């Protein structure tokens, strides 16, 4: 019998004592000064039972994890039309890489690298003003999490605006290929604000519940997206959610997951749990060092890897 409460408590204690914690992102100034000693974890089971460890209620910058929610919105609004403007293949490159865009005519490999997420912002902007769309994104994530306290950290958004030279390069380059319909600055304004959403592990795991429930929002019983789309978002998280570290994450953890340079990771055990971890120290590929380790241990101890053969509960 899996004792999830004990597993989560043990992992929390192990992570508090872990010596190798990585280094917080340096290129976005407000993220550089977050204390690397922080670690939080929230596991929400399919029946709503919630297990917390460490700094699970401390808000952090979700950064690229927001790309999952923006993609969900874009699929809801535009459906499969988005796939003519963004691909579905792992890039094998860094999250902010520009190299493939030249040979691939300004079509980003997937919606989870920066270039792909900027295209998704551009798609969402159709017929909207940036401020209106940013407000809609905030309302969407508050609804998913069932929590009105979620906010956008304007200081982080401003810092990204001032230092995001690579993102400006990506957006301008895609504009030159005709794959942005809006002015690059407008698409980037939306992108920087979605990256600056601040959520705690508990709020993030709550917001991810629809992905463990075949697209259904447990609060209302209504579908956020169809079961097919939820399955496909999970597939993209597995193959592309950790950039050039996605293969390693699948190998070690075996769950769909999406990381952000704020040190968070959202991971989904389909039918079983929505999990959020946070520790600001990153590995060389921009993924949370302790977040990955915590999820590796959770998936192994709970038997949640999607590659595990199903075993009768009592036989574990
Ligand atoms: O655009 C950026 O570089 C950041 N706002 C987000 C990057 C990110 O989270 C990559 N994830 N590991």
Q: What is the pLDDT of residue 313?
A: 61
Using a pLDDT cut of 70, give the percent of the chain over it.
98
| 46 and 99 co-located in one domain | no
Residue 108 lies in a domain: yes
Instruction: Determine which one of 34, 43, 67, 277 is catalytic.
Output: 67
Is residue 315 pLDDT above 90, yes or no?
Answer: no
Ligand 1 neighbour 161 (Cβ under 6 A): no
Residue 36 lies in a domain: yes
Instruction: Determine which one of 8, 97, 191, 259 is catalytic.
Output: 191
Residue 313 lies in a domain: no
Tens-digit pLDDT profile for residues 191-205: 999 999 999 999 999
Tens-digit pLDDT profile for residues 168-177: 999 999 999 9
| 116 and 9 co-located in one domain | no
Q: Is 68 a catalytic residue?
A: no
For ligand 1, atom 4, name the residue with the nearest CA: 63
In the DSSP assignment, the letter for residue 310 is P
| 72 and 190 co-located in one domain | yes
The pTM of this model reads: 0.97
| 108 and 173 co-located in one domain | yes
DSSP per-residue letters across 124-141: HHTTS-HHHHHHHHHHHH
Domain with residue 237: its CATH number is 3.40.710.10
Q: What is the mean pLDDT of residues 62-67?
A: 98
Residue 308 lies in a domain: no
Residue 177 lies in a domain: yes
Count of CB atoms within 10 A of residue 177's CB? 13
| 156 and 104 co-located in one domain | yes
CA distance 179 to 122: 9
Beta-strand (E) ranges in the chain?
40-45, 50-54, 60-61, 151-152, 197-199, 257-259, 264-269, 273-278
| 22 and 45 co-located in one domain | yes
Q: What is the pLDDT of residue 314?
A: 64
| 208 and 281 co-located in one domain | yes
| 75 and 161 co-located in one domain | yes
For the chain, the average pLDDT equals: 96
Tens-digit pLDDT profile for residues 20-60: 999 999 999 999 999 999 999 999 999 999 999 999 999 99
For ligand 1, atom 1, name the residue with the nearest CA: 114
Residue 34 lies in a domain: yes
Instruction: Determine which one of 243, 258, 272, 275 is catalytic.
Output: 243
Residue 312 lies in a domain: no
Question: What is the tally of structural domains in the chain?
Answer: 2
Q: Is 64 a catalytic residue?
A: yes
Q: What is the pLDDT of residue 312?
A: 65
For ligand 1, pick from 114, 257, 280 the residue to mutate: most ligand atoms within 8 Å of CB.
114
| 49 and 154 co-located in one domain | no
Residue 311 lies in a domain: no
The alpha carbon of 308 and the centre of ligand 1 are apart by a number of angstroms equal to: 31
The alpha carbon of 48 and the centre of ligand 1 are apart by a number of angstroms equal to: 30
| 165 and 278 co-located in one domain | no
Ligand 1 neighbour 63 (Cβ under 6 A): yes
309, burial (CB in 10 Å: exposed 0-12, middle 13-18, buried 19+): exposed
List the domain range (segments joined by +) for residue 112: 64-195
| 49 and 82 co-located in one domain | no
């Amino acid at each position: 019998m899996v004792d999830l409460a004990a597993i989560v408590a043990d992992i929390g204690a192990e992570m508090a004592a872990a010596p190798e914690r990585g280094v917080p992102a340096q290129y976005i100034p407000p993220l550089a000064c977050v204390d690397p000693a922080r670690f939080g974890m929230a596991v929400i089971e399919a029946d709503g039972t919630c297990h917390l460890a460490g700094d699970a209620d401390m808000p952090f910058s979700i950064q690229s994890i927001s790309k999952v929610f923006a993609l969900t919105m874009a699929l809801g609004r535009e459906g499969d039309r988005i796939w003519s403007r963004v691909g579905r293949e792992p890039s094998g490159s860094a999250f902010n890489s520009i190299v493939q865009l030249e040979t691939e005519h300004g079509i980003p490999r997937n919606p989870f690298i920066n270039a792909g997420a900027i295209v998704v912002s551009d798609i969402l902007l159709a017929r909207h003003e940036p401020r209106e769309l940013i407000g809609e994104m905030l309302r969407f994530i508050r609804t998913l999490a069932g929590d009105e306290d979620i906010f956008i950290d304007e200081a982080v958004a401003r810092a990204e605006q001032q230092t995001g030279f690579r993102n400006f390069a990506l957006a301008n380059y895609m504009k030159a290929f005709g794959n942005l319909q809006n002015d690059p600055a407008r698409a980037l304004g939306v992108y920087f604000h979605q990256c600056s959403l601040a959520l705690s592990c508990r709020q993030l795991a709550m917001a991810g519940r629809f992905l463990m429930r075949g697209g259904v929002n447990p609060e209302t019983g209504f579908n956020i997206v169809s079961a097919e789309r939820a399955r496909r978002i999970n597939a993209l998280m597995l193959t592309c959610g950790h950039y050039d570290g996605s293969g390693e994450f699948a190998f070690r953890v075996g769950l769909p997951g999406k990381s952000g340079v704020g040190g968070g990771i959202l991971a989904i055990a389909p039918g079983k749990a929505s999990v959020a971890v946070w520790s600001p120290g990153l590995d060389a590929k921009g993924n949370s060092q302790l977040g990955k380790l915590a999820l590796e241990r959770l998936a192994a101890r709970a038997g949640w890897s999607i590659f595990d053969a199903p075993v009768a509960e009592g036989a574990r």
